Amino acid sequence: MTDDDALDNYNNDWLNQYKGTSKLALRPGNTKDVATILKYCNEKKLAVTPQGGNTGLVGGSVPLFDEVIVSLSRMNKVLDFDEVSGIVVCEAGCVLQDLDNWLADRGHMVPLDLGAKGSCHIGGNVATNAGGLRYLRYGSLHGSVLGMETVLPSGEVLDSMSRLRKDNTGYDVKQLFIGSEGTLGAITKLAISVPRRPLSVNTMFLALKDFDAVCQTYSEARRQLAEVLSAVEFADRPSLDILFSEFPDIHREPFQDKYPFHMLIEVSGSDMNHDREKMDTFLEHCMMEGLIQDGVVAQDTQQSLALWALREDITMALAQAGHVYKYDFSLPLDHFYTIVEEMRERLSKVSIETHTVGYGHVGDSNVHLNICTPGKRGVTPEVMDVIEPFVYDFVRDHAGSISAEHGLGQMKPDKIFHTKSHTSVDIMKQIKTVFDPNGIMNPYKHVSYHTELAKEVS
Amino acid sequence: MTDDDALDNYNNDWLNQYKGTSKLALRPGNTKDVATILKYCNEKKLAVTPQGGNTGLVGGSVPLFDEVIVSLSRMNKVLDFDEVSGIVVCEAGCVLQDLDNWLADRGHMVPLDLGAKGSCHIGGNVATNAGGLRYLRYGSLHGSVLGMETVLPSGEVLDSMSRLRKDNTGYDVKQLFIGSEGTLGAITKLAISVPRRPLSVNTMFLALKDFDAVCQTYSEARRQLAEVLSAVEFADRPSLDILFSEFPDIHREPFQDKYPFHMLIEVSGSDMNHDREKMDTFLEHCMMEGLIQDGVVAQDTQQSLALWALREDITMALAQAGHVYKYDFSLPLDHFYTIVEEMRERLSKVSIETHTVGYGHVGDSNVHLNICTPGKRGVTPEVMDVIEPFVYDFVRDHAGSISAEHGLGQMKPDKIFHTKSHTSVDIMKQIKTVFDPNGIMNPYKHVSYHTELAKEVS
Q: How far is CA A87 from the centre of its chain?
A: 23
Q: Report CA Rg, chain B.
A: 22
CB contact under 8 A, B166 and A131: yes
Determine the residue of chain A that is closest to B177 in CA distance.
A171
CATH topology of domain B315-406: Alpha-Beta Plaits (3.30.70)
pLDDT at B71 exceeding the cut of 60:
yes
pLDDT tens-digit readout, A9-24: 899 987 778 999 999 9
How many residues does this entry show for chain B?
458
Mean pLDDT, residues A406-430: 93
pLDDT tens-digit readout, A267-309: 999 999 999 999 999 999 999 999 999 999 999 999 999 999 9
Residue A55 pLDDT level (bands cut at 50, 70, 90) = very high
> Does residue A448 belong to the interface with chain B, where contact is any CB pair within 8 Å?
no
A165 secondary structure, DSSP code:
S
**Which residue type is seen at B383?**
V
Query: Using CA atoms, how far apart are residues B408 and A177, in angstroms rounded to an integer?
Result: 23
pLDDT at B290 exceeding the cut of 60:
yes
Residue B458 pLDDT level (bands cut at 50, 70, 90) = very low
Mean pLDDT, residues A109-119: 95
Query: Using CA atoms, how far apart are residues A122 and A136, in angstroms rounded to an integer?
Result: 19
pLDDT at residue B13, as a whole number: 84
Domain map (residue ranges) of chain A: 4-71, 78-193, 200-312, 315-406, 416-453
pLDDT at residue B377, as a whole number: 83
Beta bridge partners of B69: B25, B49
Q: How far is CA A151 from the centre of its chain?
A: 24
pLDDT at residue A93, as a whole number: 98
Average pLDDT of chain B to the nearest whole number: 94
> Does residue B82 belong to the interface with chain A, where contact is any CB pair within 8 Å?
yes
Is domain A78-193 classified as CATH 1.10.10.10?
A: no
Mean pLDDT, residues B434-454: 89
Query: Using CA atoms, how far apart are residues A448 and A60, in angstroms rounded to an integer?
Result: 11
Mean pLDDT, residues B202-206: 97
pLDDT at A376 exceeding the cut of 90:
no
pLDDT at A457 exceeding the cut of 80:
no
Contact criterion met (CB below 8 Å) for B77 and B29: no
Residue A375 pLDDT level (bands cut at 50, 70, 90) = confident
pLDDT at A356 exceeding the cut of 90:
yes
CB contact under 8 A, A170 and B424: yes
pLDDT at residue A66, as a whole number: 94
Domains B200-312 and B315-406 share a fold: yes
pLDDT at A327 exceeding the cut of 60:
yes
B336 chain-A contacts, CB cut-off 8 A:
none
> Does residue B269 belong to the interface with chain A, where contact is any CB pair within 8 Å?
yes
pLDDT at A155 exceeding the cut of 50:
yes
CB contact under 8 A, B166 and A401: yes
Beta bridge partners of A369: A327, A358
pLDDT at residue B17, as a whole number: 82
pLDDT at residue A162, as a whole number: 85
Contact criterion met (CB below 8 Å) for B213 and B220: no
Question: Residue B202: CB partners within 8 Å, gap ≥ 6?
Answer: B266, B267, B268, B275, B276, B279, B297, B298, B304
Provide CATH code, domain A200-312. 3.30.70.2190
Query: Using CA atoms, how far apart are residues B262 and B232, in angstroms rounded to an integer?
Result: 10
DSSP string spanning B113-147? --TTTTT-BHHHHHHTT---TTHHHH--HHHHEEE
Query: Using CA atoms, how far apart are residues A91 and A102, in angstroms rounded to an integer?
Result: 13
Cβ-defined contacts of B132-135 (< 8 Å, 24+): B132/B361, B132/B405, B133/B231, B133/B233, B133/B312, B133/B361, B134/B230, B134/B231, B134/B266, B135/A165, B135/A166, B135/B361, B135/B363, B135/B364, B135/B405
Nearest to B308 by CA among B113, B74, B27, B49: B113
pLDDT at B345 exceeding the cut of 50:
yes
Determine the residue of chain B that is closest to A363 in CA distance.
B85
DSSP string spanning B13-67? -TTS--B---S-EE--SSHHHHHHHHHHHHHHT--EEEESS---SSSTTS-SSSP
Q: What are phi and psi of B320, to 5 degrees?
A: -75, -30
- Against a cut of 0.80, is the pTM above it? yes
Mean pLDDT, residues B88-115: 97
Average pLDDT of chain A to the nearest whole number: 94
pLDDT at residue B307, as a whole number: 97
Most confident of A408-412, B163-167, B356-360, B407-411: B356-360
**Residue B363 vs residues A84, B139, B336: alpha-carbon distances, Å:** 9, 11, 11
A11 secondary structure, DSSP code:
H
Mean pLDDT, residues B90-97: 98
Is domain A4-71 classified as CATH 3.30.70.20?
A: no
Contact criterion met (CB below 8 Å) for B38 and B48: yes
Which ipTM value was assigned to this complex?
A: 0.95
pLDDT at residue B175, as a whole number: 98
pLDDT at A402 exceeding the cut of 50:
yes
Query: Using CA atoms, how far apart are residues A17 and A318, in angstroms rounded to an integer?
Result: 14
pLDDT tens-digit readout, B226-275: 999 999 999 999 999 999 999 999 999 999 999 999 999 999 999 999 99
pLDDT at B454 exceeding the cut of 80:
no
Query: Using CA atoms, how far apart are residues B34 and B72, in angstroms rounded to an integer?
Result: 9
Q: Sheet with B68-71: list strands edge to edge.
A: B25-26, B68-71, B48-51
> Does residue B226 belong to the interface with chain A, where contact is any CB pair within 8 Å?
yes
Query: How many Cβ contacts (< 8 angstroms) between chains A and B?
Result: 288
> Does residue B160 belong to the interface with chain A, where contact is any CB pair within 8 Å?
yes
Query: Using CA atoms, how far apart are residues B84 and B13, in angstroms rounded to an integer?
Result: 39
A19 secondary structure, DSSP code:
B
Between A453 and A343, name the one with better pLDDT: A343
pLDDT at A452 exceeding the cut of 70:
no
